Structure 1
Amino acid sequence: MTAAGYSAELTEPLAAPLTAFIVHLASEKRHSPRTCDSYQRDLQRFGQWLLAGEQASWARVSGHDLRRYVASLSRDGISGRSIARHLSAIRRFYQFLLREKLVQDNPALDIRAPKSPRRLPRAADVDQLNQLLNAPADDPLEVRDLSMFELMYSCGLRLSELAGLDLDAVDARGGEVRVLGKGGKERVLPVGRKALEALGAWLAVRPAVAQESEPALFVSQRGGRLSNRSIQSRLGRWGVVKGAEQRLHPHMLRHSFASHLLESSGDLRAVQELLGHADIATTQVYTHLDFQHLARVYDQSHPRSRRRGGRNPDDNQ
């Protein structure tokens, strides 16, 4: 559709500058017809909203007007990402209007779109995940992989946290792992029985793979620290080889950890503490929760904890 076709519904003071802008994008900026089409639709919608409010001049639009427009888009169910696209189109349009001396300022400069709620991955079914993690490891690299995946699910680790683990971070006797999270914040997490067993199997074969001076807990076939991308790739491979019904990726294990633990315990604060959330407004309310409380919730609730009946005080002896 032509620029005139989009702008015909607008009054002349709105339509003429919009038409000139689209021509500018197509002829001077050499944008594709599809890109021009997108700008037309977004700016046409804004223009129609202005007319509905009896506003017939681009030059009279204020930042307050734009905030009201953003609110109206949000009420209409438009996502934060789409609203950001609308604002980008408006911002660029006003840059053009400034160049043409049709307006005195750009009211969209300081307007931001609302954040869209982050879409969490679907948590894996407990039985399916147990089946995958109970699958046998057929070679030393699979022994390593199973150990990594058990630990990720057991502790709800981020990918970067897992890759950054060193040998001295694991206290197998105490059933704990020391993790360096976002912002350099360290936390100590309980490790479930199955993960400890898998770690023991990996540590038994690790010397044959790792370079002598390598501190990393998980190493590649060449003996150095395993990269984030390699861990992602190995988890995807594990899912394919072991018959997963959905694509496996690191954050799915972390999300499954949180979902399964929360379903069992109902203790949202403990789960968020175990996850090591970086948001200070969230994490501050959990600082009074000590490790023993977290460990007790963990042992009573996690599907692969050492014992469902609670932690034995002698376990840490």
Structure 2
Amino acid sequence: MLTRQRIADYLEALASQRLLSPHTVNAYRRDLAMFADFLDAEAVTRWGDFTRAQLEAWIAGRREQGLSLRSLQRELSAVRGFYDWLARHDEGGLHPARSYRLRRLRQDLPQVLTVDSMQLLLDAPAPAEAAEARLWTRDRAILELFYSSGLRLAELAGLRLADLDLGAALVTVLGKGRKTRVLPVGRQAVTALQAWLQARPDWLRGGDHGWLFLSQRGSRLSERSIQARLQHHALRLGLPQHVYPHLLRHSFASHMLESSHDLRAVQELLGHSDIRATQVYTHLDFQHLASVYDAAHPRARQRREENE
């Protein structure tokens, strides 16, 4: 049986040297544990004895289990990274995962809210009920900041008071790989945050620990609670679309690119290390232009009328 200690050593290196998030490290742990179980079943006793035939058998088995191509791509990446690390320690050699490539994934376009839907969400009046109106002061600041600065859920949930500079209209966030970036905060978001900061002292319970957004118990507002509050307001306002934090980030990116056409600037704002992650929004922008063309161009209208 293969020793699992090398997996533990690799995960420790990911956490301490590459500074990957606990969520990512746990995902690698699950993927590599299942892969080690497969090699045990194949009677492999040394990591370096892994063969191309076994790699293809593992991939075929995962496909038969109904694993999506995207998930399989992630698992293969985990195995490849682990074996690259073993090779640097003279244990993995020229492993078969290094050169193996699955077929390229078709990249699904992210969903976005229209500008009108965003305006409906952000400009909604406060609820009539007093307790809900109190929550709306905080929640509106959250919504405005999400859309104003394109934050990830973990970035927003991890904000502290010291990260916010409303005088300069800036917020400092800690992103993936523990990289910080300083982002502008829009005028409407500044106004909503000022209202929240005025109300925030009433939310404290037994001391201020410095988190920007608080629960009703006075503790840091959790990511799960933020997700629930966003969906609550979408239902309250009758939006037909499921609203979640990353939808607001997608909407921010799409609307910014549609207005500015500056891909590099949007990449910096989103904190993408690879511009290919940002380029997906150019496809959304093209879809918008195509729909405008079909609606406005005389020849496009003529073709559409002939087909009706």
Q: TM-score, normalised by structure 1?
A: 0.54
Amino acid in structure 1 at the alignment position of 2:169: G
Residue of structure 2 in register with 1:90 after alignment: none
Residue of structure 1 in register with 2:170 after alignment: 176
Q: How far off its partner does 1:119 sit?
A: 2.9
Q: Distance in 1 between matches of 2:217 and 2:109?
A: 34
Q: Distance in 2 between matches of 1:127 and 1:117?
A: 29
Q: Distance in 2 between matches of 1:114 and 1:234?
A: 39
Match of 1:224 among 219, 223, 235: 219
Amino acid in structure 2 at the alignment position of 1:215: G
Alignment of 1:149-298 (within 5 A): 149-211=143-205, 212-279=207-274
Q: Distance in 1 between matches of 2:72 and 2:216?
A: 46
Q: Distance in 2 between matches of 1:228 and 1:164?
A: 9
Residue of structure 1 in register with 2:16 after alignment: none
Judge which range, 262-271 or 139-148, deviates more: 139-148
Match of 1:146 among 140, 150, 163: 140
Q: Is the 8 A contact 2:267 2:275 kept in 1?
A: no
Q: How far off its partner does 1:220 sit?
A: 0.4
Structure 1: unaligned runs, 5 residues or longer: 1-61, 71-78, 88-106, 284-317
Q: Distance in 1 between matches of 2:254 and 2:272?
A: 15
Residue of structure 1 in register with 2:123 after alignment: 134
Relative to structure 1, is the Cα distance of residues 111 and 204 closer, same or farther in structure 2, using a 3 angstrom cutoff?
same
Amino acid in structure 1 at the alignment position of 2:225: S
Q: Is the 8 A contact 2:264 2:275 kept in 1?
A: no
Q: Is the 8 A contact 1:220 1:226 kept in 2?
A: yes
Q: How far off its partner does 1:113 sit?
A: 2.5
Q: Deviations over 1:134-188 (max 9, x none)?
A: 0023312111011001100000000000000001111111111111111111111
Q: How far off its partner does 1:115 sit?
A: 5.2
Q: Distance in 1 between matches of 2:141 and 2:71?
A: 41
Q: Is the 8 A contact 2:141 2:192 kept in 1?
A: yes
Residue of structure 2 in register with 1:121 after alignment: 110
Residue of structure 1 in register with 2:285 after alignment: none
Q: Distance in 1 between matches of 2:136 and 2:153?
A: 18
Q: Is the 8 A contact 2:234 2:242 kept in 1?
A: yes
Query: SS at the partner of 1:179?
Result: strand
Q: Number of aligned residue pairs: give it.
A: 194
Q: Is the 8 A contact 1:81 1:113 kept in 2?
A: no
Amino acid in structure 2 at the alignment position of 1:135: A
Q: Distance in 2 between matches of 1:172 and 1:196?
A: 6
Q: Distance in 2 between matches of 1:270 and 1:112?
A: 32
Structure 2: unaligned runs, 5 residues or longer: 1-51, 61-67, 77-95, 128-132, 279-308
Q: Distance in 1 between matches of 2:71 and 2:163?
A: 43
Q: Distance in 2 between matches of 1:108 and 1:216?
A: 43
Q: How far off its partner does 1:199 sit?
A: 0.4
Q: TM-score, normalised by structure 2?
A: 0.56
Q: Distance in 2 between matches of 1:275 and 1:82?
A: 24
Q: How far off its partner does 1:279 sit?
A: 3.8
Q: Distance in 1 between matches of 2:162 and 2:233?
A: 27
Q: Is the 8 A contact 2:181 2:271 kept in 1?
A: yes
Q: Distance in 1 between matches of 2:71 and 2:275?
A: 28
Amino acid in structure 2 at the alignment position of 1:142: W
Relative to structure 1, is the Cα distance of residues 279 and 137 closer, same or farther in structure 2, using a 3 angstrom cutoff?
same
Pairwise CA RMSD: 3.4
Relative to structure 1, is the Cα distance of residues 234 and 80 closer, same or farther in structure 2, using a 3 angstrom cutoff?
same
Amino acid in structure 2 at the alignment position of 1:196: V
